[in-house]
Amino acid sequence: MINKKLLFSVKESIPYIKKNVLYQWIGLICNVCSTACLCWIITKNRSLSFIGIILVCLIVRYIVNQKAIEMSYQSSHIVKETLRSRLYKKLAKIGNSYTNEWSTAEIVQLSSEGVEQLETYFASYIPQFFYSLIAPMTLFIVISFMDMKAALVLLVCVPLIPMSIVFVQKFAKRLLNRYWGQYTKLGDSFLENLQGLTTLKIYEADGHYQEKMNVESENFRKITMRVLTMQLNSITVMDLVAYGGSALGIVFALRGTTDLFQTLFIILISAEFFIPMRQLGSYFHIAMNGMAASDKLFAILEMETKEKQNVNINNYSISASNLRFGYTDKEVLHDICFEANKGLIGFVGESGSGKSTLLKLLMRFWDVSKGNIFVDGIDIKHLNTSNLRKNEGYVTQETILFHDTIENNLRVAKQDATIDEIEVACKKANIHEYIQSLPNGYKTMVEELGSSLSGGERQRMGLARMFLHDSKLVLLDEPTSNLDSLNEGVILKSIYEERKDKTIVFVSHRESTLAHCDRVIHMESERVS
């Protein structure tokens, strides 16, 4: 019922879990004392001192309950930050190749709802689990001084609840794995349809895909109803066990003692044997969801990534030897061989010849299948990925912008850049005047994914990032494809001026764009010439 691997994966939360259990236990002691005082007042002596003790116990119990809630919040906060941070860092190491194993929607759902479920697991389920073990033993010791038989009956009945939980757990795990699978599938379909909505509208195919999504929604509804049915049935079983056990203990208490104080005390306190375990049962299904999500999370976090040593790279010459690479069963690059030193090197070829793929291999988004890529004479496989990318600039065909100011979007390339450095980079990318013409200039907010900017403006923003990053190895993938001839001419001039002390790899399908390159490599479907 406790996943040790999951528990110790976030060790920072353990101190808060311990304090949570302690505060709950103190609250239990207060409840025992106040109940005893109440029974004493009813059966023996209506002393004001006992009323005072009850009030003190109630105040202390309120305080420790608030502290327990605070500890729950602290542990959940740590879990959320730790797991999401680890997931993000792992995905950053893996790079785009994570899409070979997981869909984007699955990653998003895992980092949001999956982590939310794990928050509940750490904040509520685990503390309640340990408290539900301590509470019955504490009460058993107290009641055993009054009536050993009643105490034993109550204690023996308590394990029936976790036994029912274990019974449910056997088939709940399979069901919840199916639930998560269907949930992520529905998320994939929704995200895909949303991204392709314009295309679907153009070809009037949105109705067809809507029907497909309706089918998946219905499948998700069915599996959700099965999960809810399982939850309700298990809750019913746990309630029967809890109330039945409590009633049985009360019967023995009534039969086993003639002392009115003891009888009344056992009747009032017997429910406390079962309430902690019953509460644990209410968290159980969320915990199972969390553990199902954790299986997927660990599959990502434990994915092997070999850390390489940092190596000083000076010249940034690049070369390839017998390079082969493919996606799934389709090979894109076949025995590629080339050498390129400082200057502007152009790669030209038909669509599908592997130009963009080559740049992604140079960024180590993927590793080569066979052969080698060398940077400054060192096999790229031996280079630390993070260290390599810090010294590389990469401009893709589609520039991704964030919902933030233009200034902050540019600072993605260099966090400590001054406004003067930013403006110089923007002038090189021929977008400074446009930004200045905006009402808020560089403080202008960019809409989600840069939707408020044209394709050409987004591309120039990407080029400005490249100039600002000022790396020794620059990779340009069709960097002027969305630009008019005027803007293209200005930017190409800036790029040509940058080639003096850098290695710039320029990919294009137009030879005219590469007219001023120091060397042009023609890529065909089978070879590089």
What are the tens digits of pLDDT across the range 142-171? 888 887 877 787 777 776 666 666 666 666
Higher pLDDT, 135 or 105: 135
Cα 106 to Cα 192: distance, rounded to the nearest angstrom: 12
Q: Is the pLDDT of residue 75 over 50?
A: yes
Minimum mean pLDDT range among 114-128, 194-208, 276-290: 194-208
Report the alpha-carbon distance of residue 362 to residue 19 in Å, rounded.
50
Query: Strand 378-379 relative to strand 370-375: parallel, antiparallel, unpaired?
Result: antiparallel
| Rounded Cα gap, residues 232 and 222, in angstroms | 15
The predicted model gives 433-444 an average pLDDT of 88
Report residue 69 as tokens. 């809630």
Binned at pLDDT 50, 70 and 90, residue 103 comes out as low
pLDDT-derived band at 6 (thresholds 50, 70, 90) equals confident
Under the banding of pLDDT at 50, 70 and 90, the label for residue 21 is very high
> CB of 26 within 8 A of CB of 88?
no
Collect all residues with Cβ–Cβ distance below 8 Å to 201 and sequence separation of at least 6: none
User: Are 505 and 348 within 8 A, CB to CB?
Assistant: no
pLDDT over 70 (residue 191): no
Whether the CB-CB separation of 1 and 166 falls below 8 Å is answered with yes
Is it the case that residue 528 has pLDDT exceeding 50? Answer: no
Q: Terminal CA-to-CA distance of the chain, rounded, Å? A: 62
pLDDT, mean of residues 495-517: 78
Question: Which residues, including other chains, have CB under 8 Å from residue 499's CB and lie 6 or more apart?
Answer: 342, 343, 344, 518
pLDDT higher than threshold 60 for residue 309: no
Residue with the larger pLDDT of the pair 138 and 241: 138
Indicate the residue type of 207: G
Note the pTM of the prediction, 2 decimals: 0.58
Mean pLDDT computed over every residue of the chain:
77
CA dist 18 → 1, 21, 68, 80 (Å):
18, 5, 10, 18
Looking at per-residue pLDDT, the higher value among 334 and 95 belongs to 334
Q: Which two tokens stand for residue 504?
A: 């710039």
Instruction: List domains and CATH numbers for the chain.
Output: 79-301 (1.20.1560.10), 318-523 (3.40.50.300)
